[in-house]
Amino acid sequence: MALSAAETLERETTVPGVLKATCVLLTNELEADACNLSRVVGQLLVDLCEHSRHGRRIQLGRGYLLPDFPLTQEVIEGCEPQIVSLLDADVDQSEAELLRDLTFDSLIMLPFVVEEDCWGLFEVYREGTTAFTTEDVARATAITDCASAVVEAHQRRSAA
């Protein structure tokens, strides 16, 4: 019997383990090709961990200035997920350029909120003509909310 997302994340004994497991869960649950987590550091987004179905390195180690990616900045500041797809006629050009550079066709950006602050950003990528849906966003948000709760619990235990 498969474990639920909550059970999977609660079994992780470290915060890095929770973050990596969340990338894996998001990739699998959304039938995506890859997932990346970046840390928000002021106006900078720094890649932290990633997972891909085929072991492909996505972005690890890169950093991005938020003002260069207004839609990403909006997701982080508003703490609201966004779908980006090259199939959309009105796709944000900075996001479209990054998708093309990474050879993906669609993306869900999910703010990772810890202790009521946007701590990071999960980006879930897919190749092909199947764009992400609002149902995908709902499933992904449930996973990131669970990950947030588990990270907060780890932080409380380490502070005690």
Q: Assign residue 18 the CATH number of its domain.
A: 3.30.450.40
- Output the tens digit of pLDDT for each of the chain's 160 residues: 456 888 889 899 999 999 999 999 999 999 999 999 999 999 999 888 999 988 777 765 677 889 989 999 999 999 999 999 998 888 989 899 989 988 899 999 999 999 999 999 999 999 988 889 999 999 999 999 999 999 998 888 877 7
What pLDDT sits at residue 57?
Answer: 73
pTM value is 0.92
Total domains in the fold of the chain? 1
Given phi > 0 = left and psi -120 to 50 = alpha, else beta, which region is 21?
alpha
* Residue numbers of the domain that contains 42: 5-159
